[in-house]
Chains A and B, each alone.
Chain A
Amino acid sequence: MPPSLPHTDHAPGTGALYEEHGGRLYRYLLGMLGRPEDAEDVLQTVWSKLVGRLDRVRDPVAYLWRAARNEALRWRSGRRRRKRHEVADEELALFPDSVNPEASRDERLAITVALRGLPFEQREAVVLLAFEGLTAREAAVRLRTSENTVASRYRLAVAKLKRKLNRS
């Protein structure tokens, strides 16, 4: 049985909800989809769904994460394959210099390309554990799975990333 997020008795205002969770949700979607415009579109879709049924949703935060994940999966499956030259633009958006002053451009580009080759679930483990700094337990709550599953996906993902980067 996966752990659950703390339950709130009443739905907070959507402005406050965004203040608290919007940034992390956006980064999760950016990490999963790779492009800022895609992350914005999906976040808007998810937000619209939540606000439209806010009075019926028992736990808005859990709903947001579940809806964001489902929508990201749907979005990825319906998206065309990106061409090689588009990856450079994506890299600039995914890991900008402004928040990664220590990483070189090559490093940021290489990690972006390697991330693209990971399966969806392994990629989200890297996004949440490595880039967002969540613990395996915190990530498990958001993904509605077990802590062990998240940790296992993460270990596999890191091993794959190492192999890919060694080959590149």
Chain B
Amino acid sequence: MMQLPDDFEARLRKMRLAPPPADLYSRRLARAGLLAEPFWSFRRWGFELALAATILLGLALGTILERPDRPPAAEGRTVERIQRALEAPWLGDEATAEYLAHQLAQSERLAEVEAAKLILPLGDSTSWM
């Protein structure tokens, strides 16, 4: 049996409850606000969404910047003219025209056209070059 002191109430008033752990706020309460947000709230996922958007933008920019250079506009027009000429009816050799068009499409280099001129009996019809 416990012997109660005469000044029981005074003893009771001296009792102290344990203080909260020192890291209670940082460990459990600091993020409480975010967790309180509805699941689809922008405030809850805003940071993650912004991060994902930045990564996607970076990937897209990287892809664009890494693409091989297109031929200069003038060269592009020349190739187009060659292709049109090769399809002209006076050339007469459809298979060769197709081959040259394919080569042009592959390389897009005028050097190929020069080589083609050596192979094909283009004659006076090369005046368009």
Could you list which residues of chain A lie within 8 angstroms of chain B, going by C-beta atoms? Answer: 14-15, 18, 22-23, 26-27, 30-31, 36, 39-40, 43-44, 47-49, 51-52, 54, 93-96, 99-100, 102-103, 106-108, 110-111, 126-127, 129-133, 158, 161-162, 165-166, 168
Contact = CB atoms under 8 A, between A and B. Distances in A.
A162 B36 CA distance: 43
B2 A99 contact: no
A168 B29 CA distance: 40
B19 to A, nearest CB: 6
B contact face: mostly helix, strand, loop, or mixed: helix
> Which 7 residue pairs spanning A and B have beta carbons closest together?
A52-B36, A51-B33, A26-B20, A48-B36, A48-B32, A27-B17, A99-B16
Nearest to B9: A158
Nearest to B29: A47
A68 to B, nearest CB: 13
Interface residues of B, number: 25
Interface in B1-56: 1-2, 4, 8-9, 11-21, 24-25, 28-29, 32-33, 35-37
A51 B34 CA distance: 8
Given A106-B2, A165-B4, A31 B17 contact: yes
Contact of B2 (A48, A54, A165): A165
Given A162-B4, A165-B4, A168-B1, A126 B24 contact: no
Interface centre among B11, B19, B37 (most CB of A within 10 A): B19
B24 A22 contact: yes
A165 B35 CA distance: 44
Contacts of A54: 33
Contact of A44 (B18, B29, B37): B29
Contact of B17 (A15, A94, A107): A94
